[in-house]
Structure 1
Amino acid sequence: MPSGRTHEAINLTLLGLGGALYLAQGGSPEEPRALAFLLGYLAGTFLLSPDLDLAEKGVRAQGRWGVLGALWRPYGWLFRHRGLSHTWILGPLTRLGYLLLLLFLLYGLLKGVAAFMGASLALALPPLPKEVLLFGLLGYYLSQWLHLVADGIWPDHDLRRLKRPR
């Protein structure tokens, strides 16, 4: 199985080739959909790698988070390495869901601290067009799928495992 560096090299190489093709076709790097795709792809490659399911300390995927990498250890305890977290649809969703849970808990903590101090905390996010969000999600999923292919996990991997006699 490839190392974390190899996964990153594969993803960045294909991103560079895809970016060159996009620009050669007259695409603009300032296009919001292209930027959303790029950010989703890079987040999936460096921050939300399928290898976050490795619970041991010093894992490259967790190290990218710095001190916050410790927050991903429970994710590694929940998911066996190359188990559900290394599936084509649910695997990336588990990491997004876990990230949303962490953000929700952080927001709750900050809101509680603000209330304790006699202040209020309101979160106002600018609305993003659905198309931009979809391109960000597409970039994220593509980076995840490249990781899985490099690990030898193809889309029919789970189907073949289900058909195998026990």
Structure 2
Amino acid sequence: MPSGRVHNLINIAAYSVLAAGALYATRQDLLVVTPAQALNFTLAYAAGTFLLSPDLDLAEGKVDSKRHWGVLGVLWVPYGMLFSHRGWSHSWVIGPLTRLLYVALIAALIVGLVRFIAPDLQMPTIPQPIAWKVVLPLLIGYYLSQWLHLIADGVRPDHGLRKSYRKVRGR
């Protein structure tokens, strides 16, 4: 299993190749990528690589992703206690989703606290409806960064399913 630094280098190298390929494909009119889509993909990919790594399930210890959060890294300690290392947090679909839901929970708690303390404060709103052309690059960038981490760890796509199936069968 690579170190956090090696995971980051793998993701940076993969992003460089992917960005060069996307740039070439758009210049050859093989692909259409708007600047907003490229930015959304890049931001989600960077967040998935540096802030929301699957190794946050080790958040009680020294994890690169936790350190990148600075003093807010302490918020990930409960996540590390909730998930065992290389368990569900290292599955291909549910693992990344758990981290997104955890961030959403933290954000909801902060918004609730701000609304309780300052009920008259105007909070920013999310425009509705959110278009797929905005959401899709975010999801692809985030999940791709997660999957590269899992590939480097040697985790197969059916990781979580195999464990559950063994438990059901009694192995």
Structure 2-normalised TM-score? Answer: 0.87
Cα separation, 2, equivalents of 1:109 and 1:33:
33
Q: Does 1:135 align with 2:137?
A: yes
2:87 and 2:160 in contact (8 A); partners too: no
Q: How big is the alpha-carbon RMSD for the aligned residues of Structure 1 and Structure 2?
A: 1.9
Q: 1:41 aligns with which of 39, 45, 57?
A: 45
Matched, 1:24 2:24: yes
CA distance in 1, matches of 2:9, 2:87: 23
1:26 counterpart SS class: helix
Contact 1:85 1:94 in 2 (8 A): yes
**2-side partners of 1:95 and 1:159: how far apart?**
18
Q: Secondary structure at the match of 1:123?
A: coil
Of the structure 1 ranges 143-152 and 121-130, higher mean CA displacement relative to structure 2 is found in: 121-130
Segments of structure 2 that go 5 or more residues without pairing to the other structure are none
Asked if residue 83 in structure 1 is aligned to residue 87 in structure 2, the reply is yes
The Cα of 1:93 is off from its aligned counterpart by 0.3
Q: Deviation per CA, 1:7-59: give whole Å up to 9, x if none.
A: 00000001000101111122587522121111111110001100111032432
1:120-160 CA distance string (max 9 Å, x none): 33332234422211111111000000000100001133344
Within 1, Cα distance between the matches of 2:161 and 2:116? 46
